[in-house]
Amino acid sequence: MINDLWYKNAIIYCLSVEAYMDSNGDGVGDFPGLMRRLDYLHGLGVTAIWLMPFQPSPRRDGGYDITDYYNVDPRYGTLGDFVEFAHGCKQRGIRLLIDLVVNHTSDQHPWFQEACRNPDSPYRDWYVWADKKPKNANSGLVFPGVQKSTWTYDEVAKAWYFHRFYEFQPDLDTASPHVQAEILKIMGFWLQLGVSGFRMDAVPFVIAEKGAKTGKPVEQYGMLRTFREFLQWRCGDAIILAEANVLPESDMSYFGDDGDRMHMMFNFAVNQTLFYALAAAEVKPLVKAMEATRTRPQTAQWGSFLRNHDELDLGRLTQKQRETVFQAFAPEADMQLYGRGIRRRLAPMLQGDRRRLELAYSLMATLPGTPVLRYGDEIGMGDDLSLPERNCARTPMQWSPEPHGGFTAGDTPTMPVIDQGPYGYPHVNVAAQRRDPDSLLNWMERIIRMRKEVPEIGWGEFTILPVDASCVLAVRYDWRNNAVIVIHNLGAAPLEVRLDGGAVGDVKHVLINLLSEDHSHAGEDGQYRILLEPYGYRWYRAGGLDYLLRRTEI
Ligand code: NOJ
């Protein structure tokens, strides 16, 4: 058993098997197709893959409505194909994370069906029931505007059941010892098949008290320790990456004061303020969010991300800030969702402006944490707003200029491939970009490579360096006698940034540029003067005669 903290300096790549690569021409991506693309991912330099749900499911919520936790949806292959894939990852030194969706099942899951049919079934207590419509039935909706209620009457069960999400996703009673035992069994099953951990779905709801009489749900944090203990007993280097969009003051309750709960969490506070910073060219709220989320146990880690498969949730910004982001990146009503977010992909939000895309990904790669990249972002894929809700940003991967972007040799991809406009596959595809040394794909590969060589970011402590421009973020990371300084100009105008030599603390009076030959030397007055172009960014290692290399061994 190894207790390796590999996730502290990793590059995670999230993909959906369904949308990645179809090997048999039926229009649905599958494991054998994904297997053929493993060397592509290896070449890109990702160190971990996060697979979105691939278990059997009616797929009314992108697979987050599971009917069998111990299998692979036959459209994607078999358990045998999964194991081949897991082995392929292992051979290449790539870690595999999978979604763990245990807040709820599909209403088609045999447990729920049995629970409805037979009130004496042991499965009845696996779900959350009420005889009468609860008073809180219209509150706590996660998908306002689409979801109608959090309680629905089932004709067969002759009772109301609770569902935090859509009505076809009945909540499991996660407080039940039987349900908890089953959750551990599910984790054990996939660990045995070679995964290195789980992206745990909807964690605050998993641990919330559930029931008709519950007012403001109280979190049962002890459950998180139970999950972690089990995971580490079975597999010392496996992790849980929690999806928990909570206020920073709750972070430590999720990580655990002794680092005994979640290993990783997505940093939603930084995500939202980062988009505000990009929209308003103003970094103050971002810095505030970075400071507010600074504290975490040594072994814990943030997941830094830009866009994911859901809407970009801006619910925690002030109304004014949210309006600024909407104005800049989603001015039309159709681009917004659930009254709080944006459903577009990043490239169209930034109008395909390469300078801004590089700026955004450079920021993502250098914020405190481990970057989590979404499939297609490496080539700047767009969205299809004619598709409902969040599906607009879940279209198939664009591999080549061949029909359907090379995703399928069949005629009918389940989800249409984007074929029109500036983001259509004839223009945006992997084959074209891999031949072009200046493409976004090749830039991404270089930035991933460099990020892996800068463990100071994943492991170190950060300091915000004072600069006198509100659109510039300058951050220094220190770790084991090494220091790295990253500077980003979020503004549209060029400017000169002055960094005080004292703050930089550079013994050799030189900042080594990690991405080009353009190093920076301190002036007579000990100040560094750095000229930044519009949306410009710099990664420097402080001092060190050995050029790119770190000063001490790690
Ligand atoms: C969070 C997932 O990210 C989202 O896609 C899903 O709809 C809900 N959880 C429900 O599982």
Question: For the segment 325-342, what is each residue's pLDDT rounded down to a tens digit?
Answer: 999 999 999 999 999 999
Identify whether the C-beta of residue 244 lies closer than 8 Å to the C-beta of residue 316: no
Residues linked to residue 390 through DSSP beta bridges, in sequence order? none
Single-letter residue type at 128: V
Spatial separation of the C-alpha atoms in residues 476 and 460, rounded to whole Å: 9
Spatial separation of the C-alpha atoms in residues 61 and 72, rounded to whole Å: 16
Q: Enumerate residues 6+ apart whose C-beta is below 8 A from 26.
A: 75, 408, 410
Of the residues 201, 311, 378, 445, only one is catalytic, namely: 201
Give, using CA atoms, the residue closest to atom 5 of ligand 1.
310
Predicted pLDDT of residue 506: 56
Q: How far is CA 135 from CA 150, 151, 212, in A?
A: 11, 10, 8
Element (H, E) at 313: strand 312-313
Predicted pLDDT of residue 217: 82
Q: How far is the CA of 442 from the centre of ligand 1 (A)?
A: 31
Predicted pLDDT of residue 509: 73
Predicted pLDDT of residue 551: 46
Give, using CA atoms, the residue closest to atom 10 of ligand 1.
64
Closest CA to 466 of 256, 250, 204, 283: 283
Active site residue 201: yes
Give, using CA atoms, the residue closest to atom 3 of ligand 1.
310
Identify whether the C-beta of residue 326 lies closer than 8 Å to the C-beta of residue 336: yes
Q: How far is the CA of 260 from the centre of ligand 1 (A)?
A: 25
Residue tagged 């109008």 (tokens): 351
Task: Look at phi and psi of residue 490 and say left if phi exceeds 0, alpha if psi is from -120 to 50, else beta.
Answer: alpha
Q: How far is the CA of 175 from the centre of ligand 1 (A)?
A: 20
Predicted pLDDT of residue 547: 43
Predicted pLDDT of residue 320: 98
Q: First CA to last CA across the chain, in angstroms?
A: 22
The alpha helices in 45-168, defined as continuous H runs, are 79-91, 110-117
> Token pair of 76, please?
């994607």
> Token pair of 175, please?
């407080």
Q: How far is the CA of 166 from the centre of ligand 1 (A)?
A: 10
Spatial separation of the C-alpha atoms in residues 302 and 293, rounded to whole Å: 9
Residue 62 in contact with ligand 1 by CB distance below 6 A: yes
Q: Enumerate residues 6+ apart whose C-beta is below 8 A from 249.
A: none
Residue 361 in contact with ligand 1 by CB distance below 6 A: no
Closest CA to 58 of 106, 90, 24: 106
Closest CA to 45 of 460, 442, 550: 442
Closest CA to 95 of 50, 48, 51, 38: 48
Q: Enumerate residues 6+ apart whose C-beta is below 8 A from 144.
A: 338, 339, 340
Q: Tens digit of pLDDT for each residue in 412-464?
A: 998 999 999 999 999 999 999 999 999 999 999 999 999 999 999 999 999 99
Could you give the count of Cα atoms lying within 13 Å of 175 in the half-sphere of its Cβ?
Answer: 11
> Token pair of 79, please?
């358990």
**Angle (nearest 5°) at CA 506 between 504 and 512:** 95
Q: How far is the CA of 202 from the centre of ligand 1 (A)?
A: 7
Residue 310 in contact with ligand 1 by CB distance below 6 A: yes
Exposed / middle / buried, residue 188 (Cβ in 10 Å: 0-12, 13-18, 19+): middle
Closest CA to 486 of 313, 307, 324, 304: 304
**Angle (nearest 5°) at CA 245 between 240 and 251:** 70
50, 101, 245: residue to mutate for ligand 1 pocket, most atoms within 8 A of CB: 101
CA torsion, ordered 521, 523, 528, 534, to nearest 10 deg: -90
Residue tagged 């049919």 (tokens): 117
Residue 101 in contact with ligand 1 by CB distance below 6 A: yes
Give, using CA atoms, the residue closest to atom 2 of ligand 1.
201
Residue 358 in contact with ligand 1 by CB distance below 6 A: no
Residue 506 in contact with ligand 1 by CB distance below 6 A: no
Spatial separation of the C-alpha atoms in residues 541 and 550, rounded to whole Å: 8
Element (H, E) at 431: helix 430-435
Residue 61 in contact with ligand 1 by CB distance below 6 A: yes
How many Cβ atoms are within 10 Å of 553's Cβ, its own excluded?
6
Residue 165 in contact with ligand 1 by CB distance below 6 A: yes
How many Cβ atoms are within 10 Å of 218's Cβ, its own excluded?
10
Identify whether the C-beta of residue 165 lies closer than 8 Å to the C-beta of residue 143: yes
Give, using CA atoms, the residue closest to atom 6 of ligand 1.
64
Q: Which residues of the chain have pLDDT under 50?
A: 1, 545-548, 551-554
Residue 202 in contact with ligand 1 by CB distance below 6 A: yes
Q: How far is the CA of 50 from the centre of ligand 1 (A)?
A: 15
Q: How far is the CA of 65 from the centre of ligand 1 (A)?
A: 9
Predicted pLDDT of residue 262: 98
Of the residues 219, 243, 377, 383, only one is catalytic, namely: 243
Q: How far is the CA of 492 from the centre of ligand 1 (A)?
A: 35
Could you give the count of Cα atoms lying within 13 Å of 250 in the half-sphere of its Cβ?
Answer: 16
Active site residue 219: no
Spatial separation of the C-alpha atoms in residues 433 and 391, rounded to whole Å: 25
Predicted pLDDT of residue 507: 55
Give, using CA atoms, the residue closest to atom 4 of ligand 1.
310
Closest atom, ligand 1, to C-alpha of 166 = 10
Closest atom, ligand 1, to C-alpha of 64 = 11
